[in-house]
Amino acid sequence: MLSGRILTPDGWINGSIAFDQRIQHIRENHDAHSTLTILPGFIDLHVHGAAGVDIMQGGDAGDAVARAHAKHGTTAMLGTTMTATDNSIRRALRGLAPVIAQRPTGAARMLGVHLEGPFLSIHKLGAQPADAVTVGSMDLVRDYHALAPIRAMTLATEVDGHLALIPQLNELGIRVQIGHSNGSYEDGVAALKAGAAGFTHLYNGMTELNHYRPGIVGAALAHAEYAEIIPDLQHVAPGAIHAALRAIPRLYGVTDATSATGMPDGEYGLGSQRVYKCLGCVRLATGSLAGSVLTMDQALRNFVGLGLELADASNRLSLYPADYLGEHERGRLTQGAWADIVVLNAELQPVAVFVEGEAIDLTTN
């Protein structure tokens, strides 16, 4: 049982929360006094790596990444792939499959895969390698989906043939996200009408907002219900984050974390490419940003630092991503939900994390 200031779907209460794998009950106690804050565990829908390990390595990489992020309050996540050769993508998916099927002890729950590429625009690749970009097909997607469940997919929807894929991807239970796209505003609107559900790392890797040519960013700001954003304060300026917060009701934070997360400055892998961590960010040799070293607890502190109320910041890292995936027994502290819990001190640093009721050891590397 935990006691403290608890964020429930009905607001804050002072009280206690009892749980095993699931939450048994939450009881209010007006006389309870604690400096601890109890929030739903964070849900990160865009994670490439951590602790020197990259998802694209395959093998037990997903296990290591899920363990590393759990120590920062992430209780559920999507293992995210990179644009790569067909063999490399298949290797990564085979590595993720057993971690998705059975959560390892001490790790966040791997809910499935975010397939970020290879169905992108060669004009908006960011850190994605150009030589492996390809046009999407349902046969290929079904092959990948059979190896490991794909829950979200980044798609440059303006590429010939991609718009027609969206309803078929939805039928497989895949949330289509517009991203790494050189499309117009009209292309973005058409994709949303076809069933696209969100946008991958809003502002980054897409046509920017111009008052004559609103671009994909304009389509998101005008019409999106959901979109991811990387709140590391390097990928997106604070003013642009505030604009998105006003425009997109369920804007949610992701880390886009790489293998350099939690590691000292130096050279690391991101798929087939080498990236360099320095001064709190990750870049290609060209100087372009290439993912981040953000963790979800830092994302919470950054949102609060931008002026968001703590409950709002929490929703954007737990409730909204859970609802986006249809995971209605996660991302909220309520009776019967999974006991995915993060306990924070007055400085919003995690002092305890529980994944499906299991206490995560925060002391080991």
Please list the active-site residues. 256
Pairing of strands 42-47, 175-178: unpaired
Residue 34 corresponds to which tokens in the numbers above?
């604690």
Query: Which H or E element spans position 240?
Result: helix 238-247
DSSP 32: -
Q: Tokens in use for 353?
A: 């994390």
**CA–CA separation, 193 and 221 (whole Å):** 15
Contact, 325 vs 312, CB < 8 A?
no
Structure tokens at 188: 């973005």
Return all residues near 203 (Cβ < 8 A) that are at least 6 apart. 217, 229, 235, 236, 240, 244
The whole-angstrom separation of Cα 29 and Cα 35 is 14
Amino acid symbol at 65: V
Task: Tokens 């917060």: give the residue.
Answer: 245
